[in-house]
Amino acid sequence: MFLFNTSDFGFMTLKDAWVELDEKIGPAVVGLNTKGYKTAFSCAGHFTPLTIVDEDGEHEASIEEMKENDFCPADEPYLSFAPGVVLPSVPNGWKITEVDGAIILYAEDTDWESIYTEDLFNEKQSDALNNIFAWIESLPNATDSLSEQHSGCAYHPVVEHPGVYTREEVLAMANSLPNPCDAFILLCLFEGICGSEYMEIALAKAENITYNDDSDIIMHVTDGKKERDVKISKELYQFALKADKTYVYHPLAGNAAEEINLKPGEYIMNDFPEVYGSDPDQELLNRGRRVYVRLMRISRWLNKPGLNKMTLGLSGIVDYIKNESQKLGVSCVDFLFANEGIGVTHIKQQFNKKIDADRFVKKYQQYLNH
C-alpha cells in the first residue's frame, strides 16, 4: 500500500487528505487522475479516506492499524470513474460497464484467484496491469471537447504493450533524471535489486560494492533479513557513487526553487531531513516505502505510468538472458534450458525471482530474438 493525495493526485504532506492505495493499481490511479480522468474508487480501496490526522504522532499508528481486508479485494482489478468521465478507448484485457451514469473499468478475468495457479494468476495480473499502464500513456489529456467528441461513442481497444524496456531505454531515462538517487533506483530494479518492500535499495551502502573491472562489479545487498551478492553494471556503480555523495534533492524535476537538502547517512540513498512540514516523504512507514514514493515521482516526471518494479524487473531479465547467451555463444532458449536449466538458476541468483522457462520463452520470445 502507499499513500495518495486526493486534492492534486500527488504525494503526501501531513495535513492533506490521506488515501491508501494498493501498490500495483496505484500508479494507474495516479496516471489517470493526472490526465484529468477522475476516478471514484478502485479494488485498491482508495474510496476510504484516512481522516485521522493529528499533530501528536498518532497518525502512523492509525495507518498501521488498518488492515487490507478493510478494503475491496485487490485480486479483482477494477476502477470506477466519477460521473461524466468519458473514455476514448479501453485497454486490452479490460471491459467497461456503466452504473448510475459512471463508467466502471474491470479486468476480463474477474475471479483470477480461484481459476488459476499462483504462477498463472501473477502472469494474468501482470498482463492486465501492463496493458492499462500502456493505455494510460496513450491517452490524451481529458478536456471538455474530448468529452463532447466521444460522448455516446463506441470504445476501441488500444495496442497491447507487454511492458518490456531495453537497457538503452532505461539508461536514457536514468540519465534524464536530475537526481542520481532516482537513477540509482531505476537501474537497481532493472538489474534485480529490490528485496522485500524495496529494502535492498533503501539499505544499500557504497562500502558494500566490490569493483574489480567493468565486467565484475559486485554489490552486497540486504533487505534486513536476507543477504546476497549481485552483479551490477558500471552505470549502476557510477550512479551509486554519485547518489552516495549527493546531498540535494529536486522534488520537481530540477526546479532550483524546490531544492531540499538531504541528510548524509550510512546508506547510498541519503534521506530527507526530519523537519516537520519540509519532508515530502514524512509519515511514510519505512525507508523502503520512501523508495517506492520516489519511484512513483519518477514515473510521473517521465510520463510513464507503467514504469514500476514489475516492468523494470521483467525488462532486466530479458536483457540479462540476451547478454549472457551472447557471451556463451548460444541462443536465448539454449541458455535457459541447457545444463538442467542452469540459466534459470542464474536468473534466480541475480533477480531473486524464479521464472518458468517454458512460459517465459513463449511469452517474450519476440524480445529475446532481437
If you write DSSP's letter for every residue of 109-177 in order, what string do you get?
-TTHHHHS-HHHHHHHHHHHHHHHHHHHHHPPPP-HHHHHHHTTPPPEEPPP------HHHHHHHHHH-
Mean pLDDT of 67-74: 35
The average pLDDT across 276-296 equals 61
Lowest mean pLDDT among 54-68, 115-129, 172-186, 351-365: 54-68
Cell numbers at residue 281, please?
516523504
Nearest-angstrom CA–CA distance, 348 and 223? 16
Mean pLDDT is highest, among 1-5, 75-79, 340-344, for 340-344
How do beta strands 18-21 and 248-249 pair?
Answer: unpaired
Give the pLDDT of residue 133.
85
Give Rg (Cα) of the chain.
Answer: 21
Given a cut of 70, is residue 97 above it in pLDDT?
yes
Higher pLDDT pick, 236 / 266: 236
229, 237, 271, 342 from 216: Cα distances, Å? 12, 11, 29, 20
Region label for 18, one of left (φ > 0), alpha (ψ between -120 and 50) or beta (otherwise) = beta
Does the pLDDT at position 47 exceed 60? no
Confidence of residue 321 (pLDDT cuts 50, 70, 90): very high
C-alpha cell at 209: 560494492
Taken in order of first residue, the domains within the chain and their CATH numbers are 2-157 (no CATH), 165-370 (1.10.443)
User: 77 pLDDT band (50/70/90 cuts)?
Assistant: low
pLDDT (0 to 100) of residue 247? 92
- Global pTM reads 0.64
Rounded Cα distance, 360 and 318, in Å: 9
pLDDT band for position 237 (cuts 50, 70, 90): very high
Asked if pLDDT for residue 291 goes beyond 90, the answer is: no
* Rounded-to-integer distance, Cα 72 and Cα 77, Å: 10
Q: Which amino acid is at 107?
A: A
Query: Which grid cell is 273?
Result: 531531513
Count the helices and strands in the chain (H runs, E runs). 13, 14
C-alpha cell at 291: 523508495
| pLDDT score of 297 | 78
Cα–Cα distance, 204 to 288 (Å, whole number): 11
Q: Which three cell numbers stand for residue 180?
A: 542520481
Burial of 146 (0-12, 13-18, 19+ CB in 10 A): middle
* pLDDT of 50 above 80: no
* Beta-bridge partners for 81: 39
Least confident of 74-83, 116-125, 180-189, 255-264: 116-125
Region 266-283: mean pLDDT is 64
How does the average pLDDT of the chain come out, rounded?
73
Q: What is the mean pLDDT of residues 88-109?
A: 76
What's residue 186's pLDDT? 97
Per-residue pLDDT tens for 142-163? Answer: 864 344 443 333 333 333 445 6
Distances (CA, A) of 350 to 64, 231, 277, 329, 354: 32, 7, 39, 20, 10
User: What are 29-38's pLDDT values in tens digits?
Assistant: 778 887 888 8
Residue 336 has pLDDT above 70, yes or no: yes
> Mapping DSSP to helix (H, G, I), strand (E, B) and coil, where does residue 211 land?
strand
Query: Would the CA dihedral through 30, 271, 194, 366 be positive or negative?
Result: positive
pLDDT at 10: 42
Average pLDDT rounded to a whole number, residues 161-185 = 89
pLDDT band at 117 (very low <50, low <70, confident <90, very high): low
Confidence band for 120, pLDDT divided at 50, 70 and 90: low
Q: pLDDT tier at 229 (50, 70, 90 boundaries)?
A: very high
Q: What pLDDT does 258 receive?
A: 66
